[in-house]
């Protein structure tokens, strides 16, 4: 009703301008009303994060290279404020996980063949739900917070890459010369299509430290490998307006 009145008033105040150019025009009846922002009832923003997968070196038969193994995501996050201390929300995003496999003599995953480089890349669509706990006085800003939540993701693209130096293997007189051979195996059957995990963030306004922990097994139970590392730590940039 108030809006209708304001609109009516502005139209009613109205005037006809001759061929003049309006350089600046402000309707003050809306000032300090309908305030939007980072610390209002509902707020959404884009985010991007990047982290390193941490190998606990726990004697597993799969070892990964650090810091070459990494994890990242981008997406949209929405927050619903319940009180100054507590909010909850959801996030939708795309994630990637790259595991670079160490090439050791006793390597078994996914086979014993030694390559120059070997990677497992997993691309997922993910939905997360989180609880947010805010600390300290703040105005219309995100402020200091801790998020604790969980995610479910669908691994829509699961790829195994190997890279080898083949410059010595080219036969004399062959038409094609190459220094590297990259082999890509996609649609990996041994990787589960769904993941569940926990995440946590500690942040101040745009920036946060993030931790992800995968709860479910990455490999199907019919394969007898130990698991790839479940923990990653990284940083996040919130694209706040």
Partner 1 sequence: MSYFNFTFRVISAVIFLSSLFQDVLSQEKYWVFFNDKKDCSLDPYTYFDPKAIERRLKFGIPLVSETDLPLNSRYVSEVEKACGKIISSSRWMNAVTVNLSKDNFNALNRMDFVREIQPVAKYKNYSLCDYHEEKLSNGELELLKKQVQRMGASHFEEKDINGRGIRIAVFDGGFPDVDNHSCFEHIRKDGRIISTYDFVKDRENVYSASTHGTMVLSCIAGIHNGQGMGLATGAEFLLARTEQKSEPFSEEENWLAAMEWADKNGADIISSSLGYTHHRYFPGEMDGKSSLVVKAATIAAKKGILVVNAMGNEGSKRWEFLGTPADADSIISVGGINPDTDYHISFSSYGPTADMRPKPNVTAYGRVIAAKKTGVAQVEGTSFSTPLVAGFAACIMQLNPDMDNMQIFRLIEQSGHLYPYYDYAHGYGIPQAGFFFKDSIIKQVTVNFEQSGDSILVKIPENIDLESDSLSHMLFYHIENETGVLDKYAVVQVDEHNVLTFLVNPALKNKTLRVHFRGTTIEHKFISE
Tokens of 109: 């995953």
Could you give the CA distance from residue 230 to residue 214 in angstroms, rounded to a whole number? 5
- 231's enclosing H/E stretch is strand 231-239
Q: How far is the CB of 229 from partner 1 (least distance, A)?
A: 12
DSSP line for 191-223: B-SEEEEEEEEEEETTEEEEEEEE-S-SB-TTS
Among 1, 2, 4, 15, binds partner 1 (CB under 8 A): 15
Fill in the per-residue mask, 153 to 192: x = in contact with partner 1 (CB under 8 A), - = not in contact: ----------------------------------------
Q: How far is the CB of 143 from partner 1 (least distance, A)?
A: 8
Among 1, 28, 174, 176, binds partner 1 (CB under 8 A): 28
The answer to the question of residue 223 lying near partner 1 (CB under 8 A) is: no
How many residues bind partner 1 (CB under 8 A)? The answer is 52
Q: Which stretch binds partner 1 (CB under 8 A): 15-23, 44-52, 68-76, 157-165?
A: 15-23
The answer to the question of residue 44 lying near partner 1 (CB under 8 A) is: no
The structure tokens 């590297």 sit at 180
The answer to the question of residue 31 lying near partner 1 (CB under 8 A) is: yes
Q: Which stretch binds partner 1 (CB under 8 A): 84-92, 122-130, 138-146, 170-178?
A: 138-146
Q: Which of helix, strand or coil describes residue 121?
A: strand
Among 32, 106, 175, 187, binds partner 1 (CB under 8 A): 32
The answer to the question of residue 41 lying near partner 1 (CB under 8 A) is: no
Peptide bond just before 110 cis, omega within 30 deg = yes
Strand residue runs (E) in 55-190 = 70-81, 86-100, 117-135, 144-165, 180-186
Q: List, in order, residues 6 or more apart from 190 with CB less than 8 Å away.
A: 110, 219, 220, 223, 225
The answer to the question of residue 198 lying near partner 1 (CB under 8 A) is: yes
Half-sphere exposure of 143 (CA within 13 A, CB side): 21
Q: Which residues bind partner 1 (CB under 8 A)?
A: 8-10, 12-29, 31-32, 35-39, 135-141, 144, 146, 148, 198, 200, 202, 205, 209, 211, 213, 215-217, 221, 230-231, 241
């Amino acid at each position: 009703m108030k809006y209708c009145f304001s609109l009516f008033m502005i139209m009613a105040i109205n005037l006809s301008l001759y061929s003049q150019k309006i350089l600046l025009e402000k309707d003050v009846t809306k000032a300090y009303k309908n305030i939007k922002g980072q610390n209002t009832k509902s707020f959404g923003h884009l985010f991007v994060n990047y982290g390193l997968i941490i190998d606990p070196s726990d004697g597993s038969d799969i070892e990964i290279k650090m810091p070459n193994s990494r994890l990242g995501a981008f997406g949209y996050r929405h927050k619903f404020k319940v009180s100054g201390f507590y909010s909850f929300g959801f996030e939708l995003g795309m994630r990637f996980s790259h595991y670079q496999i160490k090439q050791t003599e006793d390597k078994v995953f996914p086979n014993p063949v030694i390559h120059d480089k070997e990677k497992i890349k997993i691309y997922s669509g993910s939905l997360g739900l989180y609880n947010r706990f805010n600390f300290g006085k703040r105005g219309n800003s995100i402020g200091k917070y801790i998020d604790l939540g969980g995610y479910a993701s669908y691994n829509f693209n699961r790829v195994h890459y190997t890279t080898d130096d083949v410059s010595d293997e080219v036969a004399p007189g062959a038409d094609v010369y190459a220094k590297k051979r990259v082999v890509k195996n996609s649609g990996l059957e041994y990787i589960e299509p769904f993941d569940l995990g926990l995440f946590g963030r500690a942040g101040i306004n745009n920036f946060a430290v993030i931790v992800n922990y995968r709860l479910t097994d990455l490999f199907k139970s019919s394969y007898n490998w130990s698991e790839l590392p479940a923990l990653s730590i990284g940083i996040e940039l919130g694209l706040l307006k």
